[in-house]
Amino acid sequence: MKIDAVVLSWKRPDNLKEIVRSLKEQKIIDNIYIWHNYPSRKKVDGAINIFSEKNFDTFIRHIFALALDSDYVLFQDDDLVLDGDNSDIIMRYIRKHGKTAAVMGPKGKKYSKKQESVVILGRMHIVKKENLVYPVLFEKEYNFKRDKTVGDDILLNLSIQHFTGSKSVVMKELKIKNLPEGDCAKAAKKRWWEKRKRIARKILNTKS
């Protein structure tokens, strides 16, 4: 079984060294990829660095990972790390839920009463690689226009749940630690959460 890690980097370059150190501590991780959304330019040793000439926002990580030779992909943002070696916890969940879970991760949320399962938040999530195609299929089948700035995790969870009938699984025992937020604006957080609710409702109304 091959598990790769994909880190999405934007305006938090000082956190990357600690993130790579943490991922290397996980015995189960094969390759570490860092997608640097423009203008991020800090190369980090110990990882495969991909520098983009454009900011493709968050959705690019799932598109990029479709090209990887992986069985599972661990995605994480650049403002948190796994605290210690969580390999045994991750493998326990993969063995128990990996084949049937839509998405797995430490935190989940419901945005609508229509949701039958939680959405695993995008800050850290684990997905069977073959399931990464479902957001693209959802867009094509329903002529759905994704928001390219936010909500890629919502579309990922809900599209997999829709096509496979599976549920997302919260990995309660996973140990994570927050890192500094850097230049990202805290004032926009409330508007960001409201936008996520609208995206979830739009997806749920589309498929109904």
The pLDDT score that the predictor gives to residue 207 is 65
Give me the pLDDT at residue 203, please.
92
Q: Is pLDDT above 90 for 178?
A: yes
For the chain, percent helix, then strand, then coil, each to nearest 5?
35, 20, 45
**38-53 pLDDT, tens digit each:** 888 889 999 999 999 9
* Tens of pLDDT, residues 103-141: 999 999 998 888 989 999 999 999 999 999 999 999 999
Q: Which residue has the higher pLDDT, 164 or 193?
A: 164
Contact present, 185 and 120 (Cβ < 8 Å):
no
pLDDT(158) > 80: yes
186 — pLDDT class (breaks 50, 70, 90): low
Q: Which domains does the chain have, with CATH numbers?
A: 3-207 (3.90.550.10)
